[in-house]
């Protein structure tokens, strides 16, 4: 369809391309799992995740916790950090502080 006016967004408002599917969920609970906790570095994000970690160990028989902090809250996690976390964990919980 021809248009006279130029789209100033370069098509940015269109939904992202490609398909997305959730990573497979293998178990009904986190028993024995290694769970990553990723804080976004904003104030209290780590306090919130620490509290979640404690609850997971005490009441949900989680095997091990892996604590990580994003290098900078304003940008997504670097690909290599995401790949590293994914290789070391069975599940990851991310939280913001705001």
Partner 1 sequence: MADGILLERHGVPAASILTDAFTASGNAMARTMGADGYRYAVIPHPVSNLTPDECRERARNVLPEVLGILSAGDEASSADVRRQGTGPDHTPAEPAGLTTDRVRELQRVVEYYFERGWTDGLPVVPVTEATVCDFIDYVGRDPDEVILRVEHLGTACTVRLAAVAAAMAGCTREHFPVLLAVLDSFQPSVDTALLQSTSGQAIMVTVNGPIRRALGFNARANVFGPGYRANAVIGRATRLVVINALGIRSGEFDQGTQGTPGKYCLCIAENEEESPWEPLHVERGFPAEASVTTTHFARGTFPVDNRSGTEPEQILLNIADTMSCTTASRGCTVVMGPEHAHLIASRGWSKQEVKRFIWEHWGRRRGDLRRFGLVHDGIAAGGRLGAVEAPDEEFLRFAESPDAILLVVAGARNAGMTTVVPMIRPLFHSQVVQDPRGRQR
Half-sphere exposure of 89 (CA within 13 A, CB side): 21
Cβ–Cβ under 8 Å, residues 37 and 48: no
CB of 74 to partner 1, least distance (A): 11
CB of 10 to partner 1, least distance (A): 13
Cβ–Cβ under 8 Å, residues 42 and 97: yes
Q: Which of 42, 57, 66, 69 binds partner 1 (CB under 8 A)?
A: 42
CA distance 73 to 97: 10
Nearest Cα to 64, choosing from 25, 95, 33, 38? Answer: 33
| 23 is a site residue for partner 1 (CB under 8 A) | yes
| 94 is a site residue for partner 1 (CB under 8 A) | yes
Q: Which residues bind partner 1 (CB under 8 A)?
A: 3-5, 14-20, 22-30, 36, 38, 40, 42-45, 47-48, 50-52, 54-56, 60, 70, 76-77, 79, 82-83, 85-86, 89-98
């Amino acid at each position: 369809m021809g248009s006279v006016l130029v789209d100033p967004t370069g098509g940015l408002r269109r939904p992202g391309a490609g398909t997305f599917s959730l990573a497979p969920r293998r178990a009904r609970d986190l028993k024995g799992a290694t769970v990553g906790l990723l804080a976004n570095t904003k104030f209290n994000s780590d306090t919130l995740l620490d509290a979640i970690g404690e609850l997971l160990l005490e009441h949900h028989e989680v095997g091990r916790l892996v604590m990580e902090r994003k290098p900078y809250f304003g940008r997504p996690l670097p690909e290599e950090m995401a790949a590293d976390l994914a290789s070391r964990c069975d599940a990851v919980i991310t939280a913001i502080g705001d």
